[in-house]
Amino acid sequence: MKLPAMGEGIIEAAITKWLVTSGQFVKADQPIVEVATDKVDSEIPSPVDGRIVKLVYHEGEIPKVGEVIALIETDQPVTGQRPVKEMVVSVTDPGKPFHQGSPEREKRRIRTSELQNGNQFISPLVRLLARQRGLSADELNNIQATGLNGRITKLDINNYILSGRPGSLSPDPASGNAGSIRINSQSDPDPVADPGDEVIEMGRLRKLIADNMMRSMRVAAHVTSFLEADITHLVAWREMHKDEFLNREEARLTFTPIVIKAVCRALKDFPRINVSISGDSLIIRRNINIGFATALPDGNLIVPVIRNADHESLGSLARKISDMAGRARDNALLPAEIKGGTFTITNIGQYNNLTGTPIINQPESAILAVGTIIKKPWAVKAAGNWGIAVRDITMLSLTYDHRVIDGALGGSFLNRVAWYLENFES
């Protein structure tokens, strides 16, 4: 059994917890190990019925994708690795000691790590997290480590971010000198619960969402533009054909796949919206991978990604949205299905919200929010004369990173999305 691929850019993962022991019999699809990467915790199921012969890697060790992590004795043909499932439970205790591996593996573990200030061990997983969060070497040295032998863990990084990065260095705006720095002070203490208040520990997923949102606000220059679109013809067309569509495509015709089609066409017209920033360079994405925000039953949020959405038909988009949204609510999405997005859409109108200012989903550079559809008096022109009519109107809001997208480009793109919706080709 090999460590499977778990998304673009992920070359290794940490073994956080074995769910089986040597000699134990397992069933196909039975989860047998929990692993952690820099983006998601996952559980890997057994590919066959059989008996665990050997656990090649121990808890705390970091195999690479494609390396053998366990040996399973079986009399069944092996057809391939079972899909990896995302975990929304806490990882194993980061301070739990683990057995030492072979001398060769110990040498490789040290060789593939970094040493800060001579002796402090920084694992590849923590190193990736620190780089993504923009943590400096000085901040790493100030983080309270809870791992074995004083090692920094993934949980230590998250706790440090959630505490407001008390030891971070930031530019001093009062000095007007970007080169001068000051240490952030904790002048604002945490609020204290009053008698009768309910205190609920934030779950791991909520902490990750908070971390990602704060990181996006910290690194991107957020600007939001708004535009009202008259989609009366689109609303009438959907109402007329939704039953036929359901029978033919076996999926409900919502407005989400229609909006995705319009966004894909607009991104082809304005490729500088489909970009990411890498250092001082701009990556113009060739593929159009659309993420759509999905609310979970526990109040959290996840963003499944439809890859190459511009190549999908309306029916195919509707089926994929229905399938992925359903599996998201059942916690059955694969890690690769929540990665690699280049543009995100969020529907805030399902709860009758007019509009909003969404936060960019890093490392993307723009996100579109679609408000509720309301009937309102609208100026229309017929036979050369202007008049007032009741129309179906929705508010579109586009948040974009002003570091790379100026108002003219962002406004033009938003206007093009609205034009495709207003002139929907039935």
Give catalytic residues, as residue numbers. 402, 406
CA distances from 97 to 139, 151, 295 (A): 25, 11, 37
- Alpha helices by DSSP H, 192-272: 204-219, 232-249, 255-269
Which amino acid would we find at residue 212?
Answer: N
The DSSP result for 85-124, as a single string, is: EEE-SPPSPTT-------HHHHHHHHHTSEEETTTEEE-H
Q: How far out from the chain centre does Cα 39 lie?
A: 8
Counting every residue written for the chain, the total comes to 426
Query: With 0-12 CB in 10 A as exposed, 13-18 as middle and 19+ as buried, what is 379?
Result: exposed
The residue to which tokens 């533009």 are assigned: 225
Run of H or E residues at 82: none
Question: Helices 255-269 and 232-249: crossing angle, nearest 10°?
Answer: 110
The residue to which tokens 């205190």 are assigned: 199
CA dihedral 261, 265, 271, 272 (to 10 degrees): -70
C-alpha neighbours within 13 Å on the C-beta side of residue 160: 24
Those residues whose C-beta lies under 8 Å from the C-beta of residue 348, and which sit 6 or more positions away, are 355, 356, 358, 369, 370, 371, 372
3-state SS of 271-340 is HHHCEEEECCEEEECCCCCEEECEECCCCCEECCEECCHHHCCHHHHHHHHHHHHHHHHCCCCCHHHHCC
SS3 415: helix
Minimal CA–CA distance to 151: which of 194, 216, 98? 98
